[in-house]
Amino acid sequence: MIKLQFKQLSEGAVFVVVSDTINEQAQQLIQHYIVQLKQKPFPGLLEIVPSYTNFCVYYDPILVTKSLKTPFTKTSAEKVKQYIEELLTTVDITTDHNTRVIEIPVHYGGVEGPDLQYVAEVNGLTPEEVIAIHTSKEYIVYMLGFAPGFPFLGGLDKRITTPRRTSPRLEIVAGSVGIAGEQTGIYPLATPGGWQIIGRTTLPLFLPDETPPTLLRAGDRIKFIAVKEVSS
């Protein structure tokens, strides 16, 4: 049985720590637990935000204190902790909650991927080999952050890991696909950034007029598809 750890973030928020290390099993457990809490929310639950190894539960402490009936507890944080512990002991972690697989078409290299050649040189590869490796597997969306809809992805092949740029660019074009260390990701908006840009997708990730306003969500798997391979 997984032993959850609880850390109070504020009067109205607690971290629920699932693992001490980033791994696929922890990510799957986090998604299972979030589904369970959304299906059986406690009075005062406001939002659940996943991260790499934990998820944060935001709640209304006044409503929790008045409405959530749990024995042997006094504070709102204690009530939330007890509720979550009792609920999640019944979770069937073998259940598949319909993980989505989303294909991301990418134009690699050229003006769309100005750092493709550098990534190749650092790793002793050709640009074509970098593309083949980058598109060879599915990546897990561990969480969204930095900018609306920006996915932090797990699973980058160590053969193409590349340090961030020493001098960040003032503006990265929306849709740019980049590598930074052992991570790969996609810029949903035009923002400054220091990732090595190897390509670009025209698929919008930030959808402000829709609900939810992001194409991706934590727990998704994405597959990069090369629609045009261009060596830098």
pTM attached to this predicted model: 0.77
**Strand order across the 45-50 sheet:** 5-10, 13-17, 54-59, 45-50
Per-residue pLDDT tens digits for 26-72? 888 888 888 889 899 999 999 999 888 899 999 999 999 888 777 76
Residues 6+ apart with CB under 8 A from 114: 197, 232
Per-residue pLDDT tens digits for 79-122? 899 899 888 876 666 555 567 899 999 999 999 999 999 999 99
Complete domains list, the chain, with CATH: 5-88 (3.30.1360.40), 101-229 (2.40.100.10)
What whole-number distance in Å separates Cα of residue 142 and Cα of residue 70?
32
Going by C-alpha positions, the residue among 61, 54, 82, 72 that lies closest to residue 13 is: 61
What whole-number distance in Å separates Cα of residue 101 and Cα of residue 140?
9
What whole-number distance in Å separates Cα of residue 196 and Cα of residue 51?
23
Between helix 76-88 and helix 24-39 the angle, nearest 10°, is 110
